[in-house]
């Protein structure tokens, strides 16, 4: 077996002195990039298979590499792998251990590739797996929302603009609005996955390699749609990481908006919904408190992910082609972004199906603030009054309601008729909150039958993923 202890860096031939111990720690990335070990091994196996088929490695050498990497994988899985900061990163740690296990065949594995195209491939493989995991959690959350929407398709609640009561909607309609945000997020992550699903292996350091490699073979073996087209761009591109982080910032923004509403809705001032105790905490001093910690923390983590997006954009903004050591700084923000998105989605997917709307409180709140005023205006328009005139009539009626502290639906017919002779006894059918939501009976509207149909359609779409 070969022992490389005299050259732990694997690249020391050019240097006349050892790397300073502080610089060694400062430049090493193994403490965080070791999480890509499984992807690194997958890439190495595909590369070795291609080198064998190209006649660069013998069948015996390939078998030794395959067997050796199986041992390495087992050691990593069991926690017995000897990670070393002297080896700098996950790639050199694995290669050094493989060489220690199988000798010279391990030294040949790096033929025709560089750490530059190796890490670019590993990151894409890792991020592709992460997007798949995120998409599953996202779908689970969406299913919870859609189920809640169908159950509460007719549960009336206030709709807001400017955080002021505007018009009645249904709780189910509101849940489907949340789902629409997440549907766009699912699509964005899918687009990101499709765009990055090209294989950089074969680009080597920056210019390609002189060996007769088959890039299509390695790309296909690793599940990529095709090899990347330009070796310079292949090793220096981090657009896919930025795009993923941008999509992550958007989904956290959406979860933050939902969180803000849940925080408001669970307050004593709103009392719109109840969250299960297991998603809340109490106060160390105030025994009555039930704090919505999960939504609050998700809301807070949005700034963290937004910061990662700015960090990656700043990292790349001044880099000349091709690879630069700066790019080592892409991994920690990216990895934390993945972890944060997955954790937030899991928390919401676990919590959302157990949200309990307080129906009577929601209905009472929906009546507040003259929420059916627009319905009265529409009623007058259907009677032949121009909308602008109808708007003025209803405005005067609302002013009278403010003076009397009475909702439009509670006013005597005679009082309403004092504002317009077009108003008849059938007006009260449109002044109830139930009548208001039922009247919005069109695609995308809040009528209960439309909400039920939309929820079922969304459910079928989710089941087909």
For each of the domains in the chain, give its residue range(s) and CATH number, in order of start. 12-111 (1.10.275.10), 116-363 (1.20.200.10), 368-463 (1.10.40.30)
The answer for 224, left when phi > 0, alpha when psi is -120 to 50, beta otherwise, is beta
Round the average pLDDT of the chain to a whole number and report it: 94
Helix, strand and coil content of the chain, in percent to the nearest 5, comes to 65, 5, 30
Mean pLDDT of 16-22: 72
Task: Give pLDDT tens digits for 424-447.
Answer: 999 998 999 999 999 999 999 999
Cα torsion 284, 289, 294, 295: sign: negative
Residues 3-30 have a mean pLDDT of 68
Please give the DSSP secondary-structure letter assigned to residue 169: E
Residue in this structure with the two tokens 């998409």, named with its chain if needed? 135
pLDDT band at 8 (very low <50, low <70, confident <90, very high): low
Read off the pLDDT of residues 233-286 as tens digits, 9 standing for 90 and up: 999 999 999 999 999 999 999 999 999 999 999 999 999 999 999 988 887 888
H/E segment holding residue 199: strand 198-199
Closest CA to 213 of 94, 48, 65: 48
- Residue 289 is predicted with a pLDDT of 81
- Which of 86, 74, 80 minimizes the C-alpha distance to 21? 86
Residue 338 three-state SS: helix
Angle at 440 between CA 371 and CA 407, to 5 degrees: 20
pLDDT tens digits for range 57-91:
999 999 999 999 999 999 999 999 999 999 999 99
**5 pLDDT more than 50:** no
The catalytic position among 162, 318, 425, 464 is 162
Mean pLDDT within 328-335: 96
Determine the pLDDT at residue 6.
44
- % residues pLDDT > 90 (the chain): 90
d(CA 181, CA 176): 9
Region 183-204: mean pLDDT is: 98
Q: Which residue has the tokens 């509460």?
A: 152
Is the pLDDT at 14 greater than 70, yes or no?
no
Is 391 catalytic? The answer is no
Q: What is the pLDDT of residue 4?
A: 40
Q: Quote the pTM value.
A: 0.91
Mean pLDDT of 328-340: 97
Tell me: pLDDT of 22 over 60. yes
- Judge whether 296 and 255 are in contact, CB under 8 Å: no
Active site includes 267?
no
Asked whether the beta carbons of 266 and 186 are under 8 A apart, the reply is no
Q: How far apart are CA 113 and CA 5, in angstroms?
A: 23
* Catalytic, out of 21, 58, 187, 283: 283
Q: What is the SS3 assignment for 5?
A: coil
As a three-state string, the secondary structure of 245-308 is HHHHHHHHHHHHHHHHHHHHHCCCCCCCEECCHHHCECCCCCCCCCECHHHHHHHHHHHHHHHH
Could you report the per-residue pLDDT of 98-129, keeping only the tens digit for each?
A: 999 999 999 999 999 999 999 999 999 999 99
Q: Residue 118 and residue 202: Cα distance in Å, rounded?
A: 9
Which residues pair with residue 357 across a beta bridge? Answer: 273
pLDDT in tens, 368-415: 889 999 999 999 999 999 999 999 999 999 999 999 999 999 999 999
DSSP conformation class of 386: -
């Amino acid at each position: 077996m070969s022992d490389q202890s005299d050259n732990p860096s694997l690249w020391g031939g050019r240097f006349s002195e050892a790397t300073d111990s502080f610089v060694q720690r400062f430049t090493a990335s193994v403490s965080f990039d070791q999480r890509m070990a499984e992807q690194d091994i997958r890439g190495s196996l595909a590369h070795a298979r291609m080198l064998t088929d190209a006649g660069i490695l013998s069948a015996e050498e390939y078998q030794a590499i395959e067997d050796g990497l199986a041992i390495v994988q087992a050691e990593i899985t069991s926690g017995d792998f000897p990670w070393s900061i002297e080896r700098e990163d996950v790639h050199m740690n694995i290669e050094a251990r493989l060489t220690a296990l199988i000798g010279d065949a391990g030294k040949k594995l790096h033929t025709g590739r560089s750490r530059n195209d190796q890490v670019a491939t590993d990151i894409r493989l890792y991020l592709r797996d992460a997007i798949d995991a995120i998409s599953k959690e996202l779908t689970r959350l969406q299913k919870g929302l859609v189920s809640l929407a169908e159950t509460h398709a007719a549960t009336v609640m206030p709709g807001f603009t400017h955080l002021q009561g505007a018009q009645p909607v249904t709780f189910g309609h509101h849940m489907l609005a949340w789902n629409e945000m997440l549907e766009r997020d699912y699509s964005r992550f899918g687009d990101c996955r499709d765009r990055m699903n090209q294989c950089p292996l074969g680009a080597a350091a920056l210019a390609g390699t002189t060996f007769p490699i088959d890039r299509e073979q390695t790309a296909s073996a690793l599940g990529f749609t095709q090899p990347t087209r330009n070796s310079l761009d292949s090793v220096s591109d981090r657009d896919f990481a930025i795009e993923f982080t941008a999509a992550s910032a958007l989904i956290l923004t959406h979860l933050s908006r939902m969180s803000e509403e849940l925080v408001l809705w669970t307050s004593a001032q709103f009392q719109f919904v109840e969250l299960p105790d297991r998603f809340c905490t109490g106060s160390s001093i105030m025994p009555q408190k039930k704090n919505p910690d999960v939504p609050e923390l998700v809301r807070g983590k949005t700034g963290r992910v937004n910061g990662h997006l700015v960090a990656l954009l700043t990292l790349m903004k001044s880099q000349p082609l091709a690879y630069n050591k700066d790019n080592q700084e892409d991994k920690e923000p990216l990895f934390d972004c993945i972890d944060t998105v997955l954790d937030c989605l899991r928390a919401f997917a676990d919590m959302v199906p157990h949200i309990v709307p307080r129906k009577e409180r929601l209905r009472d709140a929906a009546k507040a603030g003259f929420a059916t005023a627009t319905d009265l205006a529409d009623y007058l328009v259907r009677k032949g009054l121009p909308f602008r005139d109808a708007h003025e009539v209803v405005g005067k009626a609302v002013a009278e309601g403010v003076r009397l502290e009475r909702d439009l639906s509670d006013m005597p017919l005679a009082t309403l008729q004092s504002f317009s002779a077009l108003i008849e006894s059938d007006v009260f059918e449109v002044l109830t909150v139930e009548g208001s939501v039922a009247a919005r009976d069109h695609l995308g509207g809040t009528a209960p039958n439309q909400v039920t149909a939309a929820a079922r359609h969304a459910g079928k779409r989710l089941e087909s993923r």
